[in-house]
Amino acid sequence: MKTTEILINEQSTSSYLQKQCPQKSSMSKRVFDIFFSTLILATISPICIILAVIVKCSSKGPIFYASKRVGISGKIIHCWKFRTMYVDADKKLKDLLSSSNELKREWQEHFKLRNDPRITKIGAFLRKTSLDELPQFWNVLKGDLSTVGPRPLSLDEVHIVIEKGREKMFCVRPGITGLWQTSGRNLIPFDTRIVIEESYVDKQSLWFDLQLIFKTIPMILFPRGAF
């Protein structure tokens, strides 16, 4: 299948990745994910209730935001987060990128904006501390995500990965944290990020996952590259 055909829609993208990326998952990893996500969800439920109230009161819009992402073998998933942006964020992004070449270059390199005016005040705090991603432990329990793995990508990002012929990262479930998260996160250019995420697929093991989970703790307490 040619790249131009892959880019037509999400169905053709998913079909292509299903053929290119046989699943590399283990029962022990899935059992750990179920146990760990259940424990975390039970522990953080009071925090989530407080954050939900703060998000609702801070700006107009829903409490949660479901972000469409590409999961293992091209499966389309919806990753849940606390809403961190204003409700008209998509329109604002188009206006920003069309009005500034500098912002356009930054978006093309990271798919992020360091000083993003679309983000609410409480949203900036949630992103910096990664608290906005707490609802994704529900995705882990469902089986859409793993606790550790490559971060899930949007369709636009996936198309770039496919064009570069680097589809290996879709052979495993994407994760809440992983090698990229603990290596500098958004400070790392997208091309380098792909290489890092691919290397996780080759290194993955339950012991390696535990190491990355422990490395994530100081990254949350002392954020670097989170925006």
HEC secondary structure over 100-162: CHHHHHHHHHHCCCCCCCCECHHHHHHHHHCHHHCCHHHHHHHCCCEEECCCCECHHHHHHHH
Query: CA 47 to CA 26: how far, in whole Å?
Result: 31
Query: CA 85 to CA 117: how far, in whole Å?
Result: 9
**pTM above the 0.75 mark?**
yes
Q: Which residues on adjacent β-strands are paired with residue 25?
A: none
Query: Would you say residue 94 lies in a domain?
Result: no
The pLDDT of residue 176 is 95
Let me know how long the chain is: 227
The pLDDT of residue 2 is 44
pLDDT at 225 over 60: no
Q: What is the mean pLDDT of residues 128-143?
A: 94
Query: Would you say residue 33 lies in a domain?
Result: yes
Query: CA 121 to CA 139: how far, in whole Å?
Result: 26
The pLDDT of residue 226 is 59
pLDDT band of residue 110 (cuts 50, 70, 90) is low
Cβ-based neighbours of 10, under 8 Å, separated by 6 or more: 70, 76, 155
Higher pLDDT, 10 or 46: 46
What digits encode the pLDDT tens for the residues 51-98? 999 999 999 999 999 999 999 988 999 999 999 988 877 777 777 777
Query: Would you say residue 52 lies in a domain?
Result: yes
pLDDT at 5 over 90: no
Q: How far is residue 139 CA from its own chain's centroid?
A: 11
Higher pLDDT, 156 or 9: 156
Mean pLDDT, all residues of the chain:
86
Query: CA 94 to CA 188: how far, in whole Å?
Result: 24
Query: Would you say residue 54 lies in a domain?
Result: yes
Query: Would you say residue 4 lies in a domain?
Result: no
What digits encode the pLDDT tens for the residues 174-191? 999 999 888 877 778 888
pLDDT band of residue 224 (cuts 50, 70, 90) is low
Query: Would you say residue 108 lies in a domain?
Result: no
Query: Would you say residue 103 lies in a domain?
Result: no
Name the domain count of the chain: 1
Query: CA 210 to CA 167: how far, in whole Å?
Result: 25
Give the residue numbers spanning the domain of 33: 27-84+119-219
Query: Would you say residue 128 lies in a domain?
Result: yes
